[in-house]
Structure 1
Amino acid sequence: MTDGEGQRDRRHAYRAVGYIPADTFLHRMDPRTKLLTVLAISIAAFATISPLRTAILFAFVVCLAVAAGLVRPFSRGLLLLLPLLVFIVVIDIFFPEISSGHVYLSAQVGPFSSVITSGGLLYAAAKGIRILVIGGISFLFVMTTSYTDFVASLRISRLPPVIAFSLGYALKSMTALADDLRNIMDAQRSRALEFDRGTLIKNRRKLMALGVPMTVSILN
């Protein structure tokens, strides 16, 4: 692999959320069909509290990513969900919505009552995997659907202009944020901050160097 190819490969690897041109069955699929698939899988994920069933849904989403050749950007996209995933799972473990089965720990934390049960652990696991399912299938939709094709399909469907504009603009915003992320990373690389070595999770400086500018970009 040449240096130019390596740089392009790393560039695609960090393109966590954004349209990635390719010729796969997911890219060729009608955007309306993909949107309905996203809705169907998301509804199915919300409709079950079984970790096994939710894991099967996630396995299906991963298979779609593998078939589309988007494993690396798909994995990078899921990393963006890691802080939210950890926060929700931890809260559900110590303060579960469902408490059943064997009690492992029961304690009073200030005004709050914390209890860890086998049923609560299973529910927290299902909820965590649910986030991966919904986030993963949404990322795949964004990665395989161009803004032009999506808007064209909405126009063909004769949706009300307000709805068509809102959906199209939402997809365009995701692509714009992905472009902002790449620009920020390029700017930080010019300051000798290397993102291509190690992982972002192990380096707080890297996270801050990306997190602060991206927060400003999102607010804008």
Structure 2
Amino acid sequence: MIYPFYFERDSLLHGLDPRVKILGTVAGIAAIMLYNDPVFLIPLFFMTLIAVRVLGKIEIREQLRLLKPLIPIVIITLIIWPLIYKPRPQGLLFGVSFSMRLLTFALLTFMLLMTTTQRDLILGFVRLGMPYEFGLTISIALRYIPTLYMLTGNIMDAQKSRGWEVEKGNFLVRMKRMSAVLIPLLVASLKTAHELSIALESRALGATKKRTFLYDIEMTGRDYAATAVILILFGLALYVRYGLGLGHVSIYG
């Protein structure tokens, strides 16, 4: 299933410059890395959920829907830690810690994607110093993921109409039968890539080092204020961790 990331809303987060949101996401992930105590990580996860709901107007159920694919990883983490760490209650504690850290990482990343259009996101990275070619590559990749997903479904439906069966047989047999889908998909992908390269060359991509933009972004007073708040919160996280010595539990004794 292809999950839609961007949600059209009239909110504070949607109105911020993408560079501010990129900075906030990086700072948030760095701050979460400082802690491994579930007493801190569990409240931080729920605080992030509420912050996205209030500042981004994204419903909590919509946020949880995006986190749903991570549930198997969370379950595996909760099972493995008690097995590899003794005493087991302490291992379970660390399993909860790393699960909460993973979910918060994902939620912060989804916050950026849910409140920023693809165009603004790539432009934000370019304005932060990323080469334009890299930004264009990421943009094209994001653009064609849903296209390739639908193309895969169409190929599978066409092959099934010809009597193709992938559900029967063991794992190796199924993998062999998947060639009936992978080969047409690869051919279609190469054809699309070739046509795309011709289109880019016809528009003189790379002819000049300096590019102009039809649409540009500009920092405003609200963006600078948000940046200041992000830096203050990150400084507070550093103070709590290293100044007060809270939020970290030694794994190795």
TM-score by length of 1: 0.59
Give the drift of 1:72.
Answer: 2.3
Give the drift of 1:162.
Answer: 5.0
Q: Is the alpha carbon distance of 1:177 and 1:66 closer, same or farther for their aligned partners in structure 2, counting shifts above 3 Å?
A: same
**Residue aligning to 1:61:** 48
Comparing both chains, which one has the higher relative contact order based on Cα–Cα distances under 8 Å and sequence gaps of 6 or more?
2
Aligned partner (choices 36, 49, 54) of residue 23 of structure 2: 36
Residues 1:136 and 2:107 aligned together: yes
**Residue aligning to 1:75:** 64
Q: Which has the higher mean CA deviation after the structures are superposed, 125-134 or 155-164? A: 155-164
Q: Is the alpha carbon distance of 1:178 and 1:95 closer, same or farther for their aligned partners in structure 2, counting shifts above 3 Å?
A: farther
Residues 1:151 and 2:142 aligned together: no
Q: Is the alpha carbon distance of 1:157 and 1:128 closer, same or farther for their aligned partners in structure 2, counting shifts above 3 Å?
A: closer
Greater strand share, structure number: 1
Give the drift of 1:143.
Answer: 1.0
Residues 1:47 and 2:34 aligned together: yes
Tell me, yes or no, if the aligned pair for 1:15 and 1:73 is still in contact at 8 Å: no
Q: Percent identity?
A: 21
Tell me, yes or no, if the aligned pair for 1:42 and 1:134 is still in contact at 8 Å: yes
Residues 1:94 and 2:65 aligned together: no
Give the drift of 1:155.
Answer: 3.2
Q: Is the radius of gyration larger for structure 1 or structure 2?
A: 2
Superposed CA deviations along residues 59-99 of structure 1, whole A, max 9, x for unmatched, are: 22111221122222211011121111111221112223xx4
**Residue aligning to 2:9:** 22
Tell me, yes or no, if the aligned pair for 2:82 and 2:90 is still in contact at 8 Å: no
**Residue aligning to 2:74:** 85
Tell me, yes or no, if the aligned pair for 2:123 and 2:135 is still in contact at 8 Å: no
Give the drift of 1:169.
Answer: 5.5
C-alpha root-mean-square deviation of aligned residues, in Å?
A: 3.3
Tell me, yes or no, if the aligned pair for 2:18 and 2:121 is still in contact at 8 Å: yes
Number of equivalent positions: 156
Q: Is the alpha carbon distance of 1:47 and 1:17 closer, same or farther for their aligned partners in structure 2, counting shifts above 3 Å?
A: farther
Q: Is the alpha carbon distance of 1:163 and 1:93 closer, same or farther for their aligned partners in structure 2, counting shifts above 3 Å?
A: farther
Measured in 2, the distance between the counterparts of 1:55 and 1:153 equals 31
**Residue aligning to 1:161:** 132
